């Protein structure tokens, strides 16, 4: 008996350290995760996974729904009302304590942290330099994108103050020490400078990296789309020459514009269109191929085999947008738009009313981030703003004529030309997340007519409501956080 007990004690004493060493079952510690190159690839892929989820969330429709491209189709009860997830935003009534975009803010920084964890540890591990560069380049590009996106949503445009000295965002270049670091907002100029630096560094690393083995290429950051994104950032920074330089490079090195005869069919198909530069692939189940969620969740109309509408996803196209297309424009109802008749409660009872939906996004489509057409439009705008009007018209007409070979080509100049380029941008990039930001950086007013059922359909620039409130969780916990004006 006595011996037995002594044995037990000894046995447990000897194996004590193992006994207490418990690794998580469904999880893995940071140290272990980031101890190998493979672990870094998985962590990077995790960042992509969350990035895709973030980008295809409510954030995807923000710029279009807010600025008048969207009209809300009736819900299942036939009532035309604003999507409750977006209602306060649409009304410009967002609150610090209850923001529809609070999770966009928080999730963006989650991904930024995931990236910074990778960047802070990758130099210490074994692996080929070219492989490490591939990881670093993608991580830097994603970090720049996320911060640039936060800048678009949470700050006034670059020219809001003369030297962009107004409030920017928190820009994290390394993981924060919780409880010790309470980061402050930089100015807009400083924030954009860091975005630019990250993109430039990413381009450098891409130049010395191994090839990305993952396919399709457009699902990942690469040298080409990073340049394209940088061309966009220069547009936001009003550095026209840089924007021209970068977009020219992409136009030269990148794919041709998707030709007219293929455009509609390629949009309708779930594969990225041929001119896509970066698209975030939807989450697809490996086993049965079903898609868990896609951006079509906003624009889809589900019908049964007899074409009866079962459900519409409510983000239909406003007349404000559809009236901008001529009849033979391929982007109108003769191509990319489709009209459905939907039961609607009106003052005179239930009526079947027409609602038009975009067909850019089928139920297995990814979320398009940037494509070649934008390069032409970016360059056109930059040319126009630097007085190179002929070159601007050339680029503009490339886009116009593809959509409609019979389009009327006016010889316009000055502000008219700039406005026409912006209008073409609205036509071409509709539902791809541009309109509100394009208006804002050009200091234009938000005007919503068709489908606007509330009192406040117009918001004149400048106005504090051109930016969203920093969520309460940051204001209350981060002692250095400053709220945007007006919230």
Q: Which two tokens stand for residue 17?
A: 């350290």
The binding track of 8-47 with respect to other proteins, each residue x by CB under 8 A or -, is xx--xx--xx-xxxx-xxxxxxxx-x-----x-xxx-xxx
Q: Is 271 in the site for other proteins (CB under 8 A)?
A: no
In sequence order, which ranges of 76-187 are alpha helices (DSSP H)? 87-90, 102-121, 129-154
Nearest to 352, CA basis, from 342, 361, 339: 342
Burial of 46 (0-12, 13-18, 19+ CB in 10 A): middle
Select 21 or 408, whichever has its Cβ closest to other proteins.
Answer: 21
What's phi and psi for 313, nearest 5 deg?
Answer: -90, 10
Binding track over 109-148 against other proteins, x by CB under 8 A? xxxxxx-xx-------------------------------
A 10 A CB-CB count for 248 gives 17
252 binds other proteins (CB under 8 A): no
The pair of three-digit structure tokens given for residue 108, joined into one six-digit string: 């963006």
**Shorter beta-carbon distance to other proteins: residue 10 or 128:** 10
Task: Tell me how far apart the alpha carbons of residues 369 and 274 are, in angstroms, rounded to a whole number.
Answer: 14
Bridge partners of residue 458, in order along the sequence: 447
Cβ-based nearer residue to other proteins, 46 or 388: 46
Residue span binding other proteins (CB under 8 A) among the ranges 170-178, 324-332, 409-417, 459-467: 170-178
Task: Report the nearest approach of other proteins to the CB of residue 330 (Å).
Answer: 30
Rule CB under 8 A: which of 426-455 touch other proteins? Answer: none
Which of 12, 6, 103, 122 lies closest to 54 in space, CA to CA?
103
Under the binding rule (CB under 8 A), the answer on residue 395 touching other proteins is no
Q: Please work out, in degrees rounded to the nearest 5, the angle formed at the alpha carbon of residue 221 by the alpha carbons of 215 and 224.
A: 100
**DSSP assignment letter at 78:** S
- Least Å distance between CB 152 and other proteins? 17
Pick one of 62, 158, 206, 219: the residue that binds other proteins (CB under 8 A): 219
Shortest distance, CB of residue 111 to other proteins, whole angstroms?
A: 8
Nearer to other proteins, 124 or 310 (CB): 310
Selected range binding other proteins among 54-62, 240-248, 305-313, 318-326, rule: CB under 8 A: 305-313
C-beta closer to other proteins: residue 179 or 349: 179
Sole binder of other proteins in the list 68, 74, 157, 281 (CB under 8 A):
281
Q: What x-and-dash track marks residues 456-485 binding other proteins by CB under 8 A?
A: ---------------xxxx-xxxx------
For helices 240-253 and 372-385, give the axis angle rounded to 10 degrees: 150
Return the closest-CA partner of residue 435 out of 54, 163, 152, 115.
Answer: 152
Minimum CB separation of residue 393 from other proteins in Å reads 39
Q: List binders of other proteins among 61-80 (CB under 8 A).
A: 76
SS (H, E, C) 214-241: CCCHHHCCCHHHHHHHHHHHHHHCCCHH
**Which residues in 176-215 contact other proteins (CB under 8 A)?**
176, 178-179, 181-183, 214
Contact status: 87 vs other proteins (CB under 8 A): no
Closest CB to other proteins among residues 117, 393: 117
285 binds other proteins (CB under 8 A): yes
What is the maximum alpha-carbon separation in the chain?
Answer: 104
Report the 10 Å Cβ neighbour count for 385: 19
């Amino acid at each position: 008996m006595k011996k037995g007990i002594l044995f037990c004690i000894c046995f447990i004493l000897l194996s004590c350290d193992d006994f207490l060493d418990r690794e998580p079952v469904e999880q893995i510690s940071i140290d272990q995760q980031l101890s190998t190159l493979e672990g870094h690839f998985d962590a990077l892929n995790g960042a992509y996974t969350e990035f895709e989820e973030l980008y295809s969330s409510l954030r995807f429709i923000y710029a279009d729904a807010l600025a008048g491209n969207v009209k809300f189709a009736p819900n299942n009860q036939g009532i035309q009302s604003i999507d409750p997830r977006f209602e306060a935003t649409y009304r410009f009534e967002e609150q610090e304590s209850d923001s529809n975009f609070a999770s966009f803010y928080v999730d963006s920084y989650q991904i930024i942290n995931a990236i910074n964890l990778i960047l802070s540890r990758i130099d210490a591990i074994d692996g080929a330099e070219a492989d490490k560069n591939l990881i670093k380049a993608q991580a830097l590009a994603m970090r720049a994108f996320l911060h640039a996106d936060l800048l678009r949503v949470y700050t006034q445009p670059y020219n809001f103050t003369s030297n962009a000295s107004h409030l920017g965002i928190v820009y994290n270049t390394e993981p924060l020490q919780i409880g010790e670091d309470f980061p402050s907002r930089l100015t807009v100029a400083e924030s954009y400078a860091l975005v630019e630096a990250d993109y430039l560094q990413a381009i450098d690393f891409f130049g010395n990296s191994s090839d990305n083995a993952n396919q399709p290429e457009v699902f990942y950051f690469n040298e080409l789309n990073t340049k394209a994104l940088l061309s966009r950032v220069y547009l936001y920074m009003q550095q026209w020459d840089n924007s021209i330089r970068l977009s020219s490079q992409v136009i030269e090195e990148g794919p041709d514009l998707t030709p007219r005869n293929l455009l509609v069919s390629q949009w309708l198909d779930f594969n990225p269109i041929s001119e896509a530069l970066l698209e975030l692939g939807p989450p697809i189940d490996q086993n049965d191929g079903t898609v868990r969620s896609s951006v079509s969740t906003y624009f889809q109309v589900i019908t049964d085999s007899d074409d009866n509408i079962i459900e519409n996803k409510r983000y239909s196209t406003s007349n404000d947008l559809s009236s901008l297309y001529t009849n033979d424009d391929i982007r109108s109802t003769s191509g990319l738009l489709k009209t459905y008749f939907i039961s609607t409660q009106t003052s005179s009872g239930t009526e079947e009313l027409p609602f038009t939906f975009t067909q850019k996004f089928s139920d297995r489509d990814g979320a398009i981030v940037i494509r070649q057409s934008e390069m032409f439009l970016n360059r056109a705008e930059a040319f126009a703003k630097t007085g190179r009007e002929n070159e601007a018209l050339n680029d503009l007409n490339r886009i116009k004529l593809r959509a409609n070979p019979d389009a009327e080509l006016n010889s316009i100049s000055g502000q008219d030309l700039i406005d026409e380029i912006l209008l073409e941008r609205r036509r071409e990039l509709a539902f791809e997340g541009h309109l509100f930001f394009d208006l804002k950086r050009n200091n234009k007013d938000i005007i919503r007519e068709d489908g606007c059922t509330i009192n406040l359909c117009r918001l004149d620039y400048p106005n504090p409501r051109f930016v969203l409130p920093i969520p309460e969780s940051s204001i209350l916990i981060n002692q250095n956080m400053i709220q945007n004006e007006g919230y």
